[in-house]
């Protein structure tokens, strides 16, 4: 027979969170996975009402009491739990009464990571589809542009009147402008040159450029994790990607609250076991660029990484698309969380080759 210590060891080895409640819905025991999920230790919350540690709804509590009375098991999908520290968790859980002991057993699976992976997988798929569409259209536009420019040059040589050359010059200039626009849509011409790179040197370069553009009026705050090691990257391309994001933040601040009241935060952290697409990376560098500007308009919030989408009247709508292309070349991921008064762009880059 197993003793209590051995039973606890078995429960602690489970990846599913296990909560044990008595007939008054007081917590009796949490295994290790439950402690991680609820951000609470079993010793500290033992004897407390479940509602003091995690809240769902009055109906959920009533269902648990009914299960105790009837002895019937049931399962709840996609429940939203609010923890004692005001964080939220999306979970699936099964309730199993144990009438002989007067106990209720909850087996809980956190769905937050799976839902995040599904959302990011859909985002990456949509981004890849859009990128392929844009590349195809850009090549279709670029090919006839060369012909138009060449024909304008030949026509200019045959014109009898030099004053008429002004019109062919306009054709040539506009063809060049369109070609440059198409080149920007296509992204970097050269493949990334991967070399050992220090992320903080890149961010300091971005900070210097932004500081120069706003003439030192905008506050730039650093929040770095100095333990992040060097990782393979193309430093020039990464500078361009992060500068596009930071410059958007600077321009949004300038147009809304002004440089004096604005702030940009450059933050780095290490994150473990992070999924990018269908690959789980054991170690990633998370770069955050946060600003206290007006936030991204809700109507374009889901489309900001698509080409030609901009929240500014004078914006080209290409900066974030180019940034996304560069980050994808580095097998990374770029996301954005925005609300009124705050926008946070998050860039995830693998630190080790998986």
Q: In this predicted model, what pLDDT tens digit does every residue of 2-41 receive, in sequence order? A: 567 777 777 777 778 888 999 889 998 888 888 888 888 8
Helix, strand and coil percent figures for the chain, each rounded to 5? 45, 25, 25
- Report whether pLDDT(263) > 70: yes
**Among the listed ranges 270-279, 281-290, 330-339, which one has the minimum average pLDDT value?**
270-279
Q: Provide the token pair at 80.
A: 């939203």
- Please name the residues in contact with 304: beta carbons below 8 A apart, sequence gap of 6 or more: 296, 311, 320, 336
- In the chain, the percentage of residues whose pLDDT exceeds 90 is 23
Alpha helices (H) in 187-278, listed in sequence order: 199-213, 235-256
Residue 46: what pLDDT?
A: 87
CATH number 1.20.120.80 given to 4-110 = no
Q: In this predicted model, what pLDDT tens digit does every residue of 161-203 receive, in sequence order? A: 777 778 888 888 888 887 777 776 666 656 678 899 999 999 9
What span, in angstroms and rounded, lies between the C-alpha atoms of 334 and 276? 10
What span, in angstroms and rounded, lies between the C-alpha atoms of 30 and 41? 7
Q: Give the HSE-up count for residue 97: Cα atoms under 13 Å, Cβ half-sphere.
A: 17
Tokens 């809980």 locate to 108
Eight-state DSSP code of residue 293: S
What span, in angstroms and rounded, lies between the C-alpha atoms of 220 and 217? 9
CATH number 3.40.50.300 given to 195-350 = no
DSSP string, 41-104: -HHHHTTSBHHHHEE--HHHHHHHHHHHHH---EEEEEEEEEETTS-EEEEEEEEEEETTTTEE
């Amino acid at each position: 027979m197993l003793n209590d210590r051995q039973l606890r060891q078995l429960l602690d080895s489970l990846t599913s969170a296990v909560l044990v409640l008595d007939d008054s819905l007081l917590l009796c025991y949490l295994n290790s996975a439950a402690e991680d999920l609820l951000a609470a230790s079993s010793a500290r919350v033992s004897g407390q009402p479940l509602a003091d540690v995690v809240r769902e709804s009055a109906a959920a509590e009533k269902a648990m009491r009914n299960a105790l009375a009837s002895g019937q098991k049931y399962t709840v999908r996609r429940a939203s739990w609010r923890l004692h520290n005001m964080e939220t968790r999306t979970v699936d859980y099964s309730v199993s009464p144990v009438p002989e002991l007067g106990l209720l057993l909850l087996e809980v699976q956190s769905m937050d990571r799976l839902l995040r992976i599904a959302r990011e997988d859909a985002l990456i798929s949509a981004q890849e589809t859009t990128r392929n569409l844009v590349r195809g259209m850009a090549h279709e536009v670029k090919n006839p542009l060369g012909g138009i420019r060449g024909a304008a040059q030949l026509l200019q040589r045959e014109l009898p009147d030099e004053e008429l050359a002004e019109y062919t010059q306009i054709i040539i200039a506009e063809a060049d402008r369109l070609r440059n626009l198409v080149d920007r849509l296509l992204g970097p011409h050269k493949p990334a040159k991967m070399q050992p790179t220090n992320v903080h040197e890149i961010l300091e370069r971005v900070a210097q450029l932004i500081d120069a553009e706003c003439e030192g009026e905008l506050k730039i705050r650093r929040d770095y994790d100095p333990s992040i090691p060097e990782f393979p990257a193309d430093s020039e391309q990464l500078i361009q990607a992060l500068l596009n994001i930071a410059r958007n933040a600077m321009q949004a601040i300038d147009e809304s609250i002004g440089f004096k009241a604005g702030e940009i935060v450059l933050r780095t952290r290490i994150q473990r076991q992070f999924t990018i697409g269908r690959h789980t990376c054991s170690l990633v560098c998370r770069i955050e660029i946060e600003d206290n500007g007006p936030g991204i308009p809700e109507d374009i919030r889901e489309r900001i990484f698509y080409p030609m989408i901009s929240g500014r009247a004078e914006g080209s709508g290409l900066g974030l698309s180019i940034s996304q292309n560069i980050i994808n070349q580095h097998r990374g991921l770029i996301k954005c969380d925005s609300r009124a008064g705050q926008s946070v762009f998050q860039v995830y880059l693998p630190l080790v080759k998986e």
